Chain A
Amino acid sequence: MTDQPPRPRAGRARSRAQDPAGDRTANQTTQQTPAKGSTKIMANTETALKDAMTSIEGVIGVALVDYTSGMALGTLGGGKDLDLSVAAAGNTDVVRAKARTMELLGLKDEIEDILITLGGQYHLIRLLHGRGKSGLFLYLALDRGRANLAMARHQLKSIENDLEV
C-alpha cells in the first residue's frame, strides 16, 4: 500500500463532486475517504489476513476460502507443517456437511464459527455473512499452547468487519 503514489488532487476533487452521497458537513475525513478507499482496493484481503497474523496470539496460519470451489482467495503463514491450500480445500467439506445438517434439521439460524480442537492446535472456521460475501469462510490455525481462544474468536470477528470496510 505504501508504494501507491498519492492520487492527484484533480481526480480527488472530481470524484467528490460526483459523489452522490452529497455530504453536506464535508469535513476533512469524508473528503479523504474515496482516495483512501482506492488505495485499499489492491490489498484488502491481504491486509485482513496480515491483521489476523499479527494481531491474534499464537496464529500458525490463516486463509480466506470460497467453500463451493474450495479455492483459497488468500493465505498467509502455514509453512511446511500446514499446507493452507490443502487445508482450505479440505475444510470446505466440513462447512458443507454442517450447513447441510442445519438445513436438514430446519434450524433457521446461521453458523457463526466452527471450532476443531486438536491436541496441539485449534482450527477455527468463521463463515462470512456480509453482503456479497456469502459462501466464504476465514480459516485460522492456532497454536493451542499460546492462543487465547475467546480473544481469537473476538479478533476474527473484527477482521471480518474490516473486510467489509
Chain B
Amino acid sequence: MSQAAAHSPVSPMLSRLAQERATGVLIRDTGTLYLADGEVVHAESPAAPGIEVLLTAGGRLSPEAFQEAVAAAGAECATGRWLVEHRRLAAGELEISRLGALHDAAYFVLSPGAGGQSRFRHGVRHWFGSPGGVPVAAVEGEARRRRLLLESLWPHPRLDAAPVTAARTALRPGARPFLPRRQAALLGLADGVRTPSAIAALLGRPAFHALVDVRRLAALGLVETPRGSARTPGRAPAWFQNIGDDPDAALLRRLRVALERL
C-alpha cells in the first residue's frame, strides 16, 4: 500500500456523510455503518460477531437477559441503556464492549476490497442505542492501523476469509511449541471448514482478534497459509443488494450467517 493510498479516505461517500452530519445507515456489501450526526455509532458485518454474541457467548450475560433487554427497549433503540439501568452491565463495561464491537465490524465494512454500490438510508437508528459516536476519521484510521498490523504479522490477506486449517506439525503431539491459551483455543477449533469469523463467534471474541491469532499461528507454521493468488474476503451474494432497502437487512444477514454455521 502506498503512502498516499494509506491516508486517503476509504469511502468518499462516508466522508461526505460525515461532513453533512448525516443520521442513518450506510449499507455496503461488506456490512453496515450506523451514523448519528455524522459520527459512527454502530457497525455490523456478517464477518464480525454482533454485540449480542460478544456479550452472551463469553457468558457475561445470559441470552435470556439479553432478549429481555431487546424486548423491553429495542423498539426505543435503547437496549444498551436498559442493560445499564437494570444493572445487567456496568456503564463502563457497556461502553467498552460497544466500542470494541464497533471497530471490529467497521474493520470489515471498510475493507478496501468492498465492491458494489454503497447506499445510505437517512434516519435509520440502531436498536442497541447510541450514546456517543466516534468520528468517521477515527474509525477509518483505526481500520487502517489494523490492516497494517495484520500485514506486519504475516502478509497473507487470504487467511482472513479462508477456512482455518491446522498444519500437520500442530497436530503431532509434542511437536507443537507452547501456545498462549487464546491461540490454543482457536487452533482447537480449526477444522478446515470454519473461517476465522466463525471461530470468533464460537469463542465470543471479536473477529479481528481471531484474524490476529490466525496470522500469528500461520507465521509459526501451525496454520496452513493458503496458496495461489490473493482473493478478496468473501462477499455477500448478489441478492443482498436487493434487500438493502430493508432496515432489518443486517439482522437477516446475521441470521443467514448463523444458519450457515449450524
Stretch in B19-27, B142-150, B190-198 touching the partner = B142-150
Complex Cα gap A131–B88 (Å): 12
Q: Does A18 contact B (CB under 8 A)?
A: yes
Stretch in B90-98, B154-162, B224-232 touching the partner = B90-98
A19 CB to closest chain B CB, in angstroms? 6
Complex Cα gap A65–B131 (Å): 20
The answer to whether A70 and B93 touch (CB under 8 A), given A100-B180, A104-B178, is no
Complex Cα gap A162–B93 (Å): 11
Complex Cα gap A8–B145 (Å): 42
Q: Does B245 contact A (CB under 8 A)?
A: no
Q: Which of A149-165 touch B at CB < 8 Å? A: 162-165
Interface mask (B166-204 → A, CB under 8 Å = 1, otherwise 0): 000000000000101110000000000000000000000
Contact A44 B180 (CB under 8 A): no
Complex Cα gap A162–B90 (Å): 10
* Closest partner residue, chain B, to A96 (CB atom): B180
Contact A132 B97 (CB under 8 A): yes
* A: number of interface residues (CB 8 Å): 39
Q: Does B100 contact A (CB under 8 A)?
A: yes
The answer to whether A73 and B99 touch (CB under 8 A), given A18-B72, A38-B81, A103-B178, is yes
Residue from A38, A45, A68, A99 in contact with B92 in the complex, judged by beta carbons closer than 8 Å: A45
How many A-B pairs with Cβ below 8 Å? 101
Q: Which of A24-69 touch B at CB < 8 Å? A: 34-35, 37-38, 40-45, 48, 64, 66, 68-69
Contact A103 B180 (CB under 8 A): yes
Q: Which of A81-129 touch B at CB < 8 Å? A: 85, 89, 96, 99-100, 103-104
Contact A165 B90 (CB under 8 A): yes
Contact B85 A70 (CB under 8 A): no
Interface mask (B46-66 → A, CB under 8 Å = 1, otherwise 0): 000000000100101000000
Tell me which residues across on chain B come within 8 A of A70, comparing CB atoms.
145, 149
Tell me which residues across on chain B come within 8 A of A136, comparing CB atoms.
96
Interface mask (A1-27 → B, CB under 8 Å = 1, otherwise 0): 000000000000001001111000000
Which applies to chain B's interface (DSSP): helix, strand, loop or mixed?
helix
Contact A131 B95 (CB under 8 A): no
Q: Does B208 contact A (CB under 8 A)?
A: yes
Contact A38 B96 (CB under 8 A): no
Complex Cα gap A85–B141 (Å): 11
Complex Cα gap A141–B131 (Å): 29
Contact A89 B145 (CB under 8 A): yes
Contact B100 A66 (CB under 8 A): yes
Q: Which of B59-109 touch A at CB < 8 Å? A: 60, 72, 80-81, 84-87, 89-97, 99-100, 103
The answer to whether A132 and B146 touch (CB under 8 A), given A38-B81, A38-B85, A45-B95, is no
Task: List 26 A–B pairs whose Cβ atoms lie within 8 Å, in order of A's numbering.
Answer: A19-B85, A34-B86, A35-B85, A37-B84, A40-B91, A41-B80, A41-B94, A44-B91, A45-B95, A64-B96, A68-B206, A68-B208, A68-B212, A69-B209, A69-B212, A71-B145, A73-B99, A99-B180, A100-B178, A131-B60, A132-B55, A132-B89, A132-B93, A132-B96, A164-B90, A164-B92
Q: A163-B90, A163-B93 are in contact. List 17 more A-B contacts (CB 8 A).
A: A15-B85, A18-B86, A21-B86, A40-B91, A41-B95, A41-B132, A69-B146, A69-B212, A70-B145, A71-B103, A89-B145, A96-B180, A99-B180, A130-B90, A131-B60, A133-B92, A133-B96
Tell me the A residues contacting B by CB distance below 8 Å: 15, 18-21, 34-35, 37-38, 40-45, 48, 64, 66, 68-71, 73, 85, 89, 96, 99-100, 103-104, 130-133, 136, 162-165
Tell me the B residues contacting A by CB distance below 8 Å: 55, 58, 60, 72, 80-81, 84-87, 89-97, 99-100, 103, 131-132, 142, 145-146, 149, 178, 180-182, 206, 208-209, 212-213
